[in-house]
Amino acid sequence: MLSPVIRAWPGEGGHRNAVTGLDVLAEIGTGLALSHLDSISRKVKFKALRARAQEKVQEVADGLGLTAEQLADRLVPAFGLDADGAMTLDYGPRRFTVGFDEQLKPFVVDEAGKVRKALPKPGAKDDPELAPAAHKAFAALKKDVRGAASDALLRLERALVTGRRWTAAEFRTYLVGHPLVGHLARRLVWLAEDGGGTASFRVAEDGTFADAADETFVLPEAARVGIAHPLHLGDSLPAWAEVFADYEILQPFEQLTRPVHVLTDAEREGYRLERFEGLDVPFGTLLALVRRGWERGQPLDAGLERWISRRADGWHLVINLSPGIAVGAVDATGDTQRLTAVWLAPRPDDHRPSPPAPLRLGDLAPVTASEILTDLAALAGAAV
């Protein structure tokens, strides 16, 4: 398979070969090839290759009249699952049904209803052809689903953070109706926004929709659908927490229990978050922000990345660092990084004491501000 080779090439001095490999994946154009291209654009550790892959994904999406996220929705394989998101494994005299937990890790249920993490090895009484084939199929499923599951989890949590919205038709087709992603859709609370206001609902096991009172919810065809943040749910949050507890629904990531933070009055009027400045943060904790959507800066003088940033409603929340991250010599960077400035900027850059037109943190959407403060609070909690 080409994808693992492309991922490894930059570390072996083969960046140009890797870029050519991206072109080949795009040219092949099958769902599998494009799903590998999309995964590289999100997860490969080599920044230049990741950026080029993102460009290729956008080129493909533009050609189809889609956004990159819409394209990613359409690339998730079905993995041979049926319309209910299950798979039957036939051993002849006995059968097992495949299910998925909140992290999309597959498990099996036997005919007595007992859940097993692993499929038993074929026995002497099992069909000599069916049983080995079924056992092999489950092993392949576990391997194949792993990458797609990780991508889907990251994409949905990012949709919560960024406020992404789907049309009702997209929601039904690519989320609720998808054999794999549907397992995640049933573990989240959703928002429906239309001219009549905003309502929250969940997807029941049978694919119907229900509100916090467990009454049937009818999704308007013109609605825009998104993943609810606790700030959206307001007074209905306790009711939703009770519903999920009663049905013993485990969530794929923090949603109903997600921390909520607010800016102080002074912070709302300014552009800096001075309460986080001057902290010395472990290097590994800082880099963990990348998995949450932050981006490392471009290397400047002496090959140092002097900031890390994330998009924030059309602007950027920038953390300036000292001594900075040494590109190509991360081990020599040091154990900690000092947060010298934390500020809202038009674009990532070094902080200047008197920017020409400072932005207001108070102009950020409440969810955006809360998510930024959650990430910064994690840094503060790890500071030394």
158 located within any domain:
no
Predicted local confidence at residue 98, as pLDDT: 96
38 located within any domain:
yes
Q: Are residues 269 and 377 in the same domain?
A: yes
Torsion angle (degrees, nearest 10) of CA 233, 234, 238, 243: -20
Are 210 and 216 spatial neighbours (Cβ–Cβ below 8 Å)? Answer: yes
169 located within any domain:
yes
Predicted local confidence at residue 296, as pLDDT: 92
Are 82 and 179 spatial neighbours (Cβ–Cβ below 8 Å)? Answer: yes
360 located within any domain:
yes
Q: Are residues 197 and 238 in the same domain?
A: yes
Cα distance between residue 340 and residue 356, in whole Å: 20
| Count: domains in the chain | 4
Q: Are residues 103 and 209 in the same domain?
A: no
Q: Are residues 144 and 101 in the same domain?
A: yes
378 located within any domain:
yes
Q: Are residues 62 and 102 in the same domain?
A: no
| Beta-ladder partners of 322 | 338
79 located within any domain:
no
Are 272 and 341 spatial neighbours (Cβ–Cβ below 8 Å)? Answer: yes
Q: Are residues 118 and 194 in the same domain?
A: no
- Which residue, of 191, 219, 246, is where some domain finishes? 246
Predicted local confidence at residue 80, as pLDDT: 93
172 located within any domain:
yes
The token pair that represents 144 in the structure block? 């194949």
Predicted local confidence at residue 102, as pLDDT: 95
Give the structural domain span for 308.
265-382
Q: Are residues 132 and 172 in the same domain?
A: no
Q: Are residues 324 and 285 in the same domain?
A: yes
What does the H/E/C string look like for the chain? CHHHHHHHHHHHCCHHHHHHHHHHHHHHCCHHHHHHHHHHHHHCCCHHHHHHHHHHHHHHHHHHCCCHHHHHHHCCCCCCCCCCCCEEEECCCCEEEEEECCCCCEEEEECCCCEECCCCCCCCCCCCCHHHHHHHHHHHHHHHHHHHHHHHHHHHHHHHHHCCCEEHHHHHHHHHCCCCHHHHHCCCEEEEEECCEEEEEEECCCCCEECCCCCECCCCCCCEEEECCHHHHHHHHHHHHHHHHHCCCCCCCCCCCCCCCCCCHHHHHCCECHHHCCCEEEHHHHHHHHHHCCEECCECHHHEEEEEEEEECCEEEEEEEEEEEECCCHHHCCCEEEEEEEEEECCCCCCCCCCCCCCCHHHCCHHHHHHHHHHHHHHHHHCC
Cα distance between residue 202 and residue 251, in whole Å: 12
Q: Are residues 281 and 370 in the same domain?
A: yes
Distance from chain centroid for Cα 126: 41
Predicted local confidence at residue 332, as pLDDT: 62
- Which residue, of 150, 184, 205, is where some domain finishes? 150
Cα distance between residue 241 and residue 245, in whole Å: 6
Q: Are residues 22 and 69 in the same domain?
A: yes
Are 244 and 251 spatial neighbours (Cβ–Cβ below 8 Å)? Answer: yes
Are 68 and 109 spatial neighbours (Cβ–Cβ below 8 Å)? Answer: no
Cα distance between residue 167 and residue 165, in whole Å: 7
Predicted local confidence at residue 87, as pLDDT: 96
Q: How far is CA 227 from CA 22, 76, 185, 191, in A?
A: 32, 19, 9, 6
Q: Are residues 292 and 333 in the same domain?
A: yes
157 located within any domain:
no
> Where on the phi/psi map is residue 328: left (φ > 0), alpha (ψ -120 to 50), or beta?
left
Predicted local confidence at residue 330, as pLDDT: 63
Q: How far is CA 201 from CA 85, 166, 193, 244, in A?
A: 21, 15, 11, 12
For each of the chain's 384 residues, which pLDDT tens digit applies? 688 899 989 888 888 999 999 999 999 988 889 988 998 998 888 888 999 999 999 999 999 999 999 999 999 999 999 999 999 999 999 999 999 999 999 999 999 999 998 999 999 999 999 999 999 999 999 999 998 999 999 999 999 999 999 999 999 999 999 999 999 999 999 999 998 799 999 999 999 999 999 999 999 999 999 999 999 999 999 999 999 999 999 999 999 999 999 999 999 999 999 999 999 999 999 999 998 999 999 888 778 999 999 999 999 999 999 999 988 766 667 799 999 999 999 999 999 877 767 899 999 999 999 999 999 999 999 999
The overall longest dimension of the chain from CA atoms, in Å, is 79
Q: Are residues 61 and 98 in the same domain?
A: no
The token pair that represents 85 in the structure block? 């998101």
